[in-house]
Amino acid sequence: MAYDLTGRLVIGLASSALFDLDESDRVFRSEGEEAYRKYQRDNQHVPLGQGVAFPFIRRLLSLNDLNPDDPLVEVILLSRNDPDTGMRVMESIKAHKLNISRALFLQGGAPQQYIQPLSISLFLSANEADVQQAILAGHAAGQVLAGSLPADTDLEELRIAFDFDGVLADDAAEAVYKAGHLQDFLAHEQKLVDVPHNPGPLAPFLKKLAVIQKCEAERLTVDSQYKRKLKVAIVTARNAPAHERVVNTMRRWDIAINEAFFLGGVEKRLVLEVLQPHIFFDDQRLHLEPAAGTLPCVHIPFGVRNKI
């Protein structure tokens, strides 16, 4: 029987998101493809260091403990390497004991064309062009931003934080704000307070996370000692009264958010450094760049905030 991906949370992952490839890229750019090929062969059994998305992916895969015989999460490597140079990535996956067995090696080919056929809910890469092309094609995708990562030791929780407009919801409300003034935006959101937002690029990913949250709730009914791992937060520049439509949208989507921060223009970094998410998604670099030095941050190049 074929392995069915459609009911699972599937992450498409470039090796540049999972591992630190700075040294490999330096060899490729300064010495060329043949030197790069030799470098990767010579270092095939030298594990690559952790990249920005590594803590997130490791914890996400640990959620498969909820149903080991029929995993909830599948991670598929989408690599621009050819199979030969990609061997070091696969050896590194094995060395870090990550349960990732499916991989596509595309020798420079475009990974985004495989997102829909493989039922991928989220594609992560450090390659800005690949992410932009995926977003333009209507897929959920994000560019991981370079930065130093905190120590990754405790596997007890997976904390995921999202901006709202332009990430979970589309950019319709954000367009109103950008075109006018704060009061116009607040009046617009009050008028439509009971009308759920249209889904944004990461809404399908959030809905798959909600399925896992429900599995954890079911586990608690039969095992009172079980400790929930998955925690989801919204960190948004909205404040009251614009918060109401966010909450009403989550209710209509049947999604439980663990925490919400309606900051009204307060710098998000101040909250994020306390929350310490294992990954944070935002459509505006001005919110991401102050935090990217210490937190795993992902830019979603979607909507009016990203139009040139």
Catalytic site residues?
A: 163
Secondary structure (3-state) at 4: coil
Tokens for 14, please give them: 């470039």
CA 37 to chain centroid:
30
Q: Residue 223 is encoded by which pair of tokens?
A: 């095992």
- Cβ proximity of 280 and 298 under 8 Å: yes
> Are the C-beta atoms of residues 13 and 56 closer than 8 Å to each other?
no
CB 206 within 8 A of CB 167: no
How crowded is the C-beta side of 93, counted as CA atoms within 13 Å? 22
Peptide bond into 241 cis (omega under 30): yes
Give the other-Cβ count within 10 Å of 94's Cβ: 12
- Beta carbons of 243 and 249 less than 8 angstroms apart: no
The tokens for 195 are 């009308």
- Measured CA to CA in angstroms, residue 262 lies from 11, 35, 158, 169, 256 at distances of 28, 50, 21, 15, 16
Dihedral sign computed on CA atoms, order 146, 93, 100, 226: negative
